[in-house]
Structure 1
Amino acid sequence: MKSRYVIAAVVLIAIAAAAAVFVVKGTSRGYRDGVYEGEYRNENGGGGTRVVLKIENNAIVDCQMTATDAEGHVKDENYGKNDSEANYRLCQISVAGMRQYPGELLKTQDIDKVDAVSGATVTHREFQIAVRQALQKAR
């Protein structure tokens, strides 16, 4: 009777070990160390977002992002300055929001966990596409 319990325990331990190996292998990102670029260009010929990711030990350790407007100008402290004061304020809200994305990616290590910021939702979508492209190159 005791041998049945021992055999059952050994089988359960073997199944648990196999499941643990499967989980570890299944969740491994498998990224190669290096610097990888991704880019989204607006299909209508204007603007886009470019990212440069640095990966070390299977983790994103640096993320640089550059977003451009329809004329190809970088979205920075001058974005919207040549327009009305109200539009300039809206543009700067967008810039402040999008500047959060790289830091959030470094914290979460998962592009699907980087939330969109109000005022910068279009750039969020572009950022996601560019990051996925860069990560695909890192595999």
Structure 2
Amino acid sequence: MRILDHESDVICRIFKAHLAGRTAREIANGLNEDGVIAPRGGSWDASTINGNKAHSHGRRGRTPKRPFSGLLRCGKCGGGMSIHDRSGSAIRIRCSTARESGSCDNDKRYRLDKIEHAVLAKLKAELADPIYVKE
């Protein structure tokens, strides 16, 4: 194993920032602002700093609670969408890339129930077309 100076500098920077009380999200934003490339290329986010068990396990063995879990994408950057907040039964989602790394400027929030309703209504209408039910 060989330690590369530029990687060592980034690792030291991350640990110093963590010890100074900065969150993983703040550290990732700072690295992105300074143009530091993440280990696998692209931009940094909180899970790049903290690690993410979900990446090694995927969706195997669990059933998502929502019909489009893991499928919705940001229209600006193509990043995933995740829950932002809840108000009663309403769930709002936003771009995970914008939230985690700040490398997407899509700061809009979307009502998940409205997205699900629109997509399912369109799908139902499309599947009602006789062309799809021919045997």
TM-score (norm 1): 0.23
Q: Which has the higher contact order (CA 8 A, sep 6+)?
A: 1
Larger Rg: 1
More strand by share: 1
